[in-house]
Amino acid sequence: MKHVGVLALQGDVREHATTLRKLGVEVHEVRRPTDLNGIEGLVIPGGESTTISHLLVSSGLRDELKSAFADGLPVFGTCAGLIVLSASILDGRTDQWSFGVLDVTVKRNGYGRQTASFEAPVDVDGIGPVPGVFIRAPRITEVGAVETLASYDHGDGSHPVLIRQVQAWGCSFHPELTADVRVHELFVNSL
């Protein structure tokens, strides 16, 4: 059985845990550095990236995770989790920081505010269409050394929405909010 952590500081932790359990994974909720013991990968949920970045510092997890990622711990961030992993943030708060393990620039709320949230099919390499739930989603506006596994055109040009850089993965939508487990399965199968 694989052991996967879900960062449980803020956001839709339960939905990720449910999806991972459907895949036969043993889920560890991560709130403090000792919770990282024994995990083979980590999921950073959607929620509010400014809050998550603050709580990562106050929990003592930021520095532990920086070295864990440098040592190769696989990580998958959705929506706010993608923002927290990215190299550069547009429209972030001045005190907001990020891990920089995904070589991309993301624009917060880059598909519009809450009222502009939407659902649309996203065609993922090797899987086919999955339901894409975009809620105040970040838009990936620039990519460096990442592999793009899915792009989506919201009527204003195609942008990556699921990316991978070695063992770090990010997506701008919320696969955990649908019954479709295949995006999580890609990550879990890579562990």
**Catalytically annotated residues:** 79, 174, 176
Candidate ranges 29-37, 42-50, 59-67, 152-160; the one touching ligand GLN (CB under 6 A): 42-50
Token pair for residue 124?
Answer: 């993922």
Q: How far is the CB of 85 from ligand GLN (least distance, A)?
A: 12
Q: How far is the CB of 62 from ligand GLN (least distance, A)?
A: 16
Task: Please report whether residue 54 would count as binding ligand GLN according to CB under 6 A.
Answer: no
Q: How far is the CB of 38 from ligand GLN (least distance, A)?
A: 27
Q: How far is the CB of 48 from ligand GLN (least distance, A)?
A: 5
Token pair for residue 40?
Answer: 């083979």
If we measure between CA atoms, which residue out of 186, 136, 152, 166 comes closest to residue 12? Answer: 136
If we measure between CA atoms, which residue out of 69, 65, 77 comes closest to residue 138? Answer: 77
CB closer to ligand GLN, 33 vs 178 = 178
CB closer to ligand GLN, 133 vs 168 = 133
Rounded to whole angstroms, the Cα distance separating 163 from 64 reads 24
Token pair for residue 115?
Answer: 């009222």
Task: Please report whether residue 119 would count as binding ligand GLN according to CB under 6 A.
Answer: no
85's CB contacts (< 8 A; 6+ apart) are 44, 75, 77, 98, 99, 100, 101, 102, 168, 170
CB closer to ligand GLN, 57 vs 145 = 57
Task: Please report whether residue 48 would count as binding ligand GLN according to CB under 6 A.
Answer: yes
**128-157: contacts with ligand GLN (CB under 6 A):** 135-136
Q: Render 34-102 in DSSP notation, one character per residue.
A: GGGTT-SEEEE-SS-HHHHHHHHHHTTHHHHHHHHHHTT--EEEETHHHHHHEEEEES--TT------E
Antiparallel, parallel or unpaired: β 158-165 and 168-171: antiparallel
Applying CB under 6 A, which of residues 16, 28, 108, 139 lies at the interface with ligand GLN? 108
CB closer to ligand GLN, 34 vs 58 = 58
Q: Which residues bind ligand GLN (CB under 6 A)?
A: 46-49, 79-80, 83, 108-109, 135-136
